[in-house]
Chain A
Amino acid sequence: MNAGALKRTPFYDLHVAASAKMVPFAGFEMPVQYASITQEHETVRTGVGVFDVSHMGEFEFSGPDRNAWVNRLTCNDIAALQEGQAQYTALLNDDGTFIDDCIVYRFDDRIMMVVNAANAEKDWQHVVAHKSGVNARVKNISDDVALLAIQGPQSEALLQSLTAVSLSQLRYYHFEVGHVAGVDCFLARTGYTGEDGFELYFRPKHAETVWQAVVGRGGAVPCGLGARDTLRLEVGYPLYGNDIDDTVNPYEARLGWIVKLDKGAPFVGRRALETIKAKGGPTRRLVGLTMEGKGAIPRHGYDVYLKDRKVDIVRSGGFSPSLQMGIGTTFLPTHSVDPGTAIQIDVRGKRVEAVVAKLPFYTKGSVKSA
C-alpha cells in the first residue's frame, strides 16, 4: 500500500468535524479516538456508541451456485443458515491456517461476505482463484457500502426511534432489510464489542443523513478504533494480525466451533484440519493472560516465558478499562493452558509475572448471544 494513497470513508469529514484523531489503518484514514478511549469504551459498556467501520471489505456472491461456492471457501456451513441470518466463519489456506475471518450474510438471492480491510485484496484473489466450474458471480462492493456499528445496551432503544423494523424481534446474528432515518439499509444484530448492538449497511451517499440521525438526534457517542480494540479484547474476540493469521489454525485459536468438517462439502483447508484432529488436536492454544503487578501492561510483541523458556509473544495486549488492569493473549503449549498457570512477560527488559486467565475477561456484556 502506497502510504500517500490512504482512502477515506464517506464519514471522513464528519470525523474531522468531531475532532477525531485520524490515523492510517489498513489503507484508510480512520478515527482512533475522539476525546478519550476510556470514555468511549465506558459509553459502549453502559450506553450507546457508534463506530464507522466502512473500511471493512464486502463481497457479494450471486448466481445459482453461490452457496456451494461460499461453502467451498469457508470452514463454517452456509447450508445451516436461513435467509436473514449471519454467520461467523473463515477463509483458510490449504494448510488450515487463516487467510481471514469474516461474516457471511445470507439473502434470498445473494450472499454478502464481510472481510477485514487489511486482507480484502488477498481475500479477493483467493475467492476468485477458487471459482472454477462454478455458475455464480462475485462482485467487490466495498466502495459502495457505508457501514456503521451501533453498540451498547442502549442501542436498541436508539435505533428503534429511527426505524420501523421491529428490533425486539431481531435476534443475534440475524438481519432485516428496512429503513433507518428514511435511508434504505439492512440492519444486522452483530458487533465486535460484547454488547448488544447493530451494524447498518447502506449507500455511501446517505452517510451524513444516517450519521446525523444516529449521533445528532439519537445521541450515540462517536467511538474510534482504540475503543473498538479494548472492547473486543475484553470479550476475547480474535483480531486478525494479532491473535490469528496465516500461521494459526482455528483449533489453536479456540475457534473449532466454526469448523464444520462434516458439512457434506469439501472446503479449502479441510484435509489439513482433519489431520490435526486425527493427531489429537493442536499442540498450542490461544489463552488470555492478566498481569499480577499493578502498572505493567502487556503489549503486542512482548516475549512470553513459561518456566524460563520463551514460548511466544503477546498477541493482543493492552489496558482493560473495565477491569482496570493489563490484559492480553498468547499461545501456550496445550499442556499449560489452565487458568492460573504462571507465566512471565518481558516488559521492556524486565520479567513481570502474569497468569493464564479465563476468556472472556469481561463477562457482563449485554450481547444477545444465542
Chain B
Amino acid sequence: MSEIPDNLHYTEEHEYVRPADDAGIVVVGITDYAQGELGDVVYVDLPEVGAKFNEMEEFGSIEAVKAVSQLFCPLAGEVVEINQALEADPALINRDPYGEGWMIKLEIRSRADLDQLLTAADYAQHVGE
C-alpha cells in the first residue's frame, strides 16, 4: 500500500498537487505509488523558472535505474521555483515524495482549477488501492 494523503489533488499520470498558499501557488511532484513503481530515481530533468505549460503538457522527465518516465503538468501555469536539491540527491523522490522530493512550484490561473483534478479517493481507486 502506498501513501495517498487526503489533502492533495492528483492526476491519472501520478502527479500530485498541493496548494501552497491562498493565492495561486501549488507544489507539484509524483506520488508515493509512482516512485514505488519507478524504483530508484537517478536523475530528474526539470524546466527553467519562468517556463509556462498547458494542462497535461510535458514539463520534464524522470530517469530511474530501469525506466524513464515523462512528467506532465497537472494544471496550466508558470513555474516559479524548482527543487534544486533534486540535482544532487534525486533519490529524495523515493524517500519523501510528498515532502523534500517535490519537483516544481507552479503559479496557476485560479484555485478553481484544482477541482479538475482527482481527489485522494479517486486516485486510490485509479491505482487499485
Which residues of A are interface residues toward B (Cβ below 8 A)?
A: 21, 32-33, 36-38, 226, 229-230, 294-295, 297, 299, 318-319, 321, 348
Contact = CB atoms under 8 A, between A and B. Distances in A.
A33 B37 CA distance: 10
A294 B44 CA distance: 11
Contacts of B45: 295
A313 B43 CA distance: 22
B63 interface: yes
A230 B68 contact: no
Contact of B68 (A36, A229, A297, A321): A297
Nearest to A299: B68
A226 B66 contact: yes
Contacts of A21: 36
Contacts of B67: 299
Contacts of A226: 39, 65-66
Is chain A's interface secondary structure helix, strand, loop, or mixed overall?
A: mixed
Interface string B58-81: 000101111110000000000000
Contacts of A299: 67-68
Interface in B13-72: 36, 39-40, 42-43, 45, 61, 63-68
B39 A37 contact: yes
Nearest to A302: B68
B66 A348 contact: no
A2 B40 CA distance: 31
B40 A295 contact: no
B43 A318 contact: no
B61 A37 contact: no
Contact of B42 (A32, A33, A319, A348): A319
Contacts of B61: 348
B29 to A, nearest CB: 18
Contacts of A229: 66
A294 B94 CA distance: 20
B59 to A, nearest CB: 14
Nearest to A41: B65
6 contacts: A36-B40, A229-B66, A230-B65, A295-B63, A319-B63, A319-B65
A348 B45 CA distance: 12
A37 B63 contact: no
Contacts, number: 38
Given A295-B45, A348-B61, A318 B66 contact: yes
A297 B63 contact: yes
A36 B43 contact: no
A33 B39 contact: yes
A75 to B, nearest CB: 32
Contacts of A37: 39-40, 65-66
A319 B63 CA distance: 9
B65 A321 contact: yes
Nearest to B66: A226
B129 to A, nearest CB: 15
B84 to A, nearest CB: 15
A294 to B, nearest CB: 7
Contact of B39 (A36, A297, A348): A36
Nearest to A36: B40
Contacts of A297: 42-43, 63, 68
Contacts of B65: 37-38, 226, 230, 318-319, 321
- A-B CB proximity, top 5 nearest: A295-B43, A38-B40, A37-B65, A319-B65, A319-B42
A32 B68 CA distance: 16
Contacts of A295: 43, 45, 63
A32 B66 contact: yes
A79 to B, nearest CB: 41
A348 B64 CA distance: 15
Contacts of A38: 40, 42, 65
A47 to B, nearest CB: 18
A52 B61 CA distance: 32
B90 to A, nearest CB: 9
A74 B79 CA distance: 60
A362 to B, nearest CB: 15
A63 B39 CA distance: 48
Contacts of B68: 297, 299, 348
Contacts of A230: 65
B48 to A, nearest CB: 15
A196 B36 CA distance: 31
The residue in A21, A37, A319 that gathers the most chain B C-beta atoms within 10 A of its C-beta is: A319
A140 B67 CA distance: 35
Nearest to B44: A295
B76 to A, nearest CB: 23
